[in-house]
Amino acid sequence: SNEKRTNWDEQLPFVTFNYNTSIHTTTGQIPFELMHGRSPILPFDQQQPLITLSQDP
């Protein structure tokens, strides 16, 4: 934790990402979609599906 909050510049990419991928009440849309004409690809969208192995009885 940075109690003096001197690392705010390191947090900007996270704040910007959150702002641009959240629905805004004024437009009812996501800024990323308005700028790029498509939905953003979020980190959890890129996760590989969990592969499970069935056990033999």
Q: Is residue 51 part of a domain?
A: no
Q: What is the DSSP string of 9-46?
A: HHHHHHHHHHHHTS--TTTSS-HHHHHHSS----GGGG
Q: Is residue 12 part of a domain?
A: yes
Q: Please, which pLDDT band fits residue 5 given cuts at 50, 70 and 90?
A: confident
Residue range(s) defining the domain that contains residue 20: 1-39
Owner of token pair 């033999």 = 56
Give the tokens for residue 49.
């599906």
Give the tokens for residue 30.
């996501």
Q: Is residue 44 part of a domain?
A: no
For residue range 6-44, what is the model confidence (pLDDT) as tens digits? 888 999 999 999 999 999 999 999 999 999 999 998 877
Q: Is residue 8 part of a domain?
A: yes
Judge contact between 31 and 40, C-beta under 8 A: no
Q: Is residue 54 part of a domain?
A: no
34-43: list long-range contacts, CB under 8 Å, 24+ apart.
none
pTM of the shown model: 0.62
Q: Is residue 56 part of a domain?
A: no
Domain count, the chain: 1
Q: Is residue 16 part of a domain?
A: yes
Q: Is residue 22 part of a domain?
A: yes
